[in-house]
Structure 1
Amino acid sequence: MKLAIGTVQFGLDYGVSNNTGQTSQNQVKAILNYAQQQGITLLDTAAAYGDAEKVLGCANVKDFELVSKLPPIKSDSSSREALAFAENSLQATLKNLQSNHIYGYLYHHCEDILTYGNVRNWLTKKQQQGVINKIGVSVYSPEQAAIILDHCHIDLIQIPLNLFDQRFIHSGMLKRLKENGVEVHVRSVFLQGLLLMEKAVRPDYFYSLNSHFEQIDRLCKDYGMSRIAMALNFALQQPQVDKVVVGVNNQAQLTAIVQSIGEELPTYNWQQLSCDNEAFINPSLWQI
């Protein structure tokens, strides 16, 4: 199963289209039970996602593969301070998750993997001890991925990819990552839910993308597809993608997503929908 669950909503009120707030503990259990029934095996979390790690730990997730992230290291840290921070962060993550090992541990701030060689060496030791299965990074752009591939060995990478953000496809970086044996996890397939929103409630900030949204709506109408099915299967059907991470607020949302898997995409020049303006495809830059 290529689908994985992102857990930021378990710990924070997150997402441009989220009008229900942080997911309740009961809903978390319902989501995880349903996920297991559907053969979903991987959960993606982070220390930066509020108390998401603790929520997962309380929900008994021993049957899932877990990916979490090393928080950004303060830029003025010495090597010794950076190492102490990394040690404490991993220890806290494992304690919160109530686990003694983790499938993937990613640098949340990708520049840290280049800056602190001693942290990298320490993580490698943890990998050799079986505490971490795969070491990796979370990146925002193909340029960041290229720099890391040129200087470091990584096992796992998390990248943004969706109907609007096709940079990793058309730059050739997705192909290069697979040629280097890197496991690829994709996030932001719904662009925080923006790709699923009705025009009436879509923020005015995205007005200049109206023609893109109209193209999606036209395709959905012509081929009898939902926006969820189109956005999801565009990512799932990229052959170099290993996991597609989706965030959900409740079991009903996850059910709708799972039921959309496998719908055949129409023959179309999908590159027409791509947008290279980071102000629209990088949520951290949104001014809404």
Structure 2
Amino acid sequence: MAANLGLGSAQFGGDYGISNTRGRVGEEDVRQILELAADCRILNIDASHHDGDVERILGRNWPFPSPFKPQIRTLRLEKGLDWLESRLRRSVDHMGLVRAHAALVDAAEDLTGPEGDALWTRLEKLKADGLISKIGISATAADQPVLLAQRFKPDIMQVPASILDQRLVRNGAIKTLAELGVEVQIRSVFLQGLLFLPREALPANLIPIGPHLSRVRRIMAESGADPLHAALSFALNLEGVSTVMVGVTSAAELRAIVAASERKPPRINYDAMALSDDVALDPKQWFADLGEQATRRLVRVA
């Protein structure tokens, strides 16, 4: 069974995405996006308090009663568990709701640290109290999501996967998570817009992957697919995935995504599209000063 679409909201709070030329989404656009999402039964909404004032923006603009399943996220543990719980309660209140569908641990390293078990116990209490219906973990490939799932038994795991980043597909992690009974959500299916960025617009740290991106686009063209259609088809048909989270800056973009998701999957060599470059697969490094490491990458590619 194909996965469903969910909606990320990072663009509602800031200039998120390397190919985002529109900037932060205005509230009228947010309202139109949410109305279209409701009409299309795109109900999972991922709200992060790291991105501007997203929670309040959502609370001001979605219909009531809300048909959506909003997900909130934890902040880091530096201020203690009581403060973290208070912040989660405020997140729900900011959105004008009585409860949230889910709460995700935003930084998996908090769970592997000394207060990890106490953090999870606190989330289980909030679930028992009815503030949230499900608890989960937002993880990266480096966080070893299968081990986290085996230890904490979350309801949800959210991990990155795309035609460019196939690490958790190739090592079987996504399939294993589903077999453990975990609801698997995938994010970064466009790798923060990198898939759509012209080669000449790549930041310096990504110049070494320019030839690979050109090859990926050539494979798509030869298969009669565009990047949007190819990326969504790959994500929506991954075994074990329940929800594919996407981000948009307008209702028109969401319509295009919905239309592409309903098209017949292309016959395409996805294996040839996977990246193995550690810097390209980590958006935190795209604009970092890599010094000699960047030089070595350029020489190696050349």
Residue of 51, 55, 58 corresponding to 2:53? 51
Q: Which amino acid counterpart does residue 284 of structure 1 have in structure 2?
A: K
Confirm whether residue 212 of structure 1 aligns to residue 196 of structure 2: no
CA displacement at 1:41 relative to structure 2: 1.1
CA displacement at 1:118 relative to structure 2: 2.4
Residue of 86, 89, 103 corresponding to 2:87? 89
- Between the aligned residues of both structures, percent identity stands at 30
2-11 vs 116-125, which moves further:
116-125
Hey, what does 1:229 align to over in structure 2? Answer: 229
How far apart are the structure 1 equivalents of 2:28 and 2:265? Answer: 35
Confirm whether residue 72 of structure 1 aligns to residue 76 of structure 2: yes
Hey, what does 1:78 align to over in structure 2? Answer: none
Hey, what does 2:25 align to over in structure 1? Answer: 23
Confirm whether residue 100 of structure 1 aligns to residue 98 of structure 2: yes
3-state DSSP of counterpart to 1:186:
strand
RMSD: 1.7
Contact 1:142 1:173 in 2 (8 A): no
TM norm structure 2 = 0.88
CA displacement at 1:249 relative to structure 2: 0.8
Q: Label 1:143 to 1:7 Cα distance change in 2 as closer, same or farther (>3 A).
A: closer
CA displacement at 1:92 relative to structure 2: 1.4
How far apart are the structure 2 equivalents of 1:277 and 1:155? Answer: 31
Could you list the runs of 4 or more consecutive aligned residues of structure 1 that deviate by over 4 angstroms after TM superposition?
A: none
Contact 1:142 1:167 in 2 (8 A): no
CA displacement at 1:169 relative to structure 2: 0.6
Residue of 42, 45, 50 corresponding to 2:44? 42
Gaps of 5+ in 2: 289-302
How far apart are the structure 2 equivalents of 1:125 and 1:84? Answer: 12
3-state DSSP of counterpart to 1:280:
coil
Q: Which amino acid counterpart does residue 102 of structure 1 have in structure 2?
A: A
Q: How big is each residue's C-alpha offset from its partner over 1:19-60, in whole Å with a ceiling of 9 and x where there is no partner?
A: 111100000001011111112111111111110111001113
Q: Label 1:143 to 1:55 Cα distance change in 2 as closer, same or farther (>3 A).
A: closer
Contact 1:86 1:119 in 2 (8 A): no
CA displacement at 1:143 relative to structure 2: 4.4
Contact 1:82 1:119 in 2 (8 A): no
Q: How big is each residue's C-alpha offset from its partner over 1:254-277, in whole Å with a ceiling of 9 and x where there is no partner?
A: 111111113334444422221233
Contact 2:35 2:62 in 1 (8 A): no
How far apart are the structure 2 equivalents of 1:142 and 1:114? Answer: 13
CA displacement at 1:252 relative to structure 2: 1.2
User: How many aligned residue pairs are there?
Assistant: 282
237-246 vs 109-118, which moves further:
109-118
3-state DSSP of counterpart to 1:133:
strand
How far apart are the structure 2 equivalents of 1:276 and 1:67? Answer: 31
Q: How big is each residue's C-alpha offset from its partner over 1:149-199, in whole Å with a ceiling of 9 and x where there is no partner?
A: 242121111111011110111111111100111111111111111101223
CA displacement at 1:211 relative to structure 2: 3.1
Residue of 52, 63, 66 corresponding to 2:67? 63
3-state DSSP of counterpart to 2:191:
coil
How far apart are the structure 2 equivalents of 1:42 and 1:192? Answer: 19
Hey, what does 2:181 align to over in structure 1? Answer: 181
For 1:93-132, what aligned pairs fall within 5 Å after superposition? 93-115=91-113, 116=115, 117-132=117-132
CA displacement at 1:126 relative to structure 2: 1.6
How far apart are the structure 1 equivalents of 2:199 and 2:284? Answer: 22
TM norm structure 1 = 0.92
How far apart are the structure 2 equivalents of 1:60 and 1:225? Answer: 34
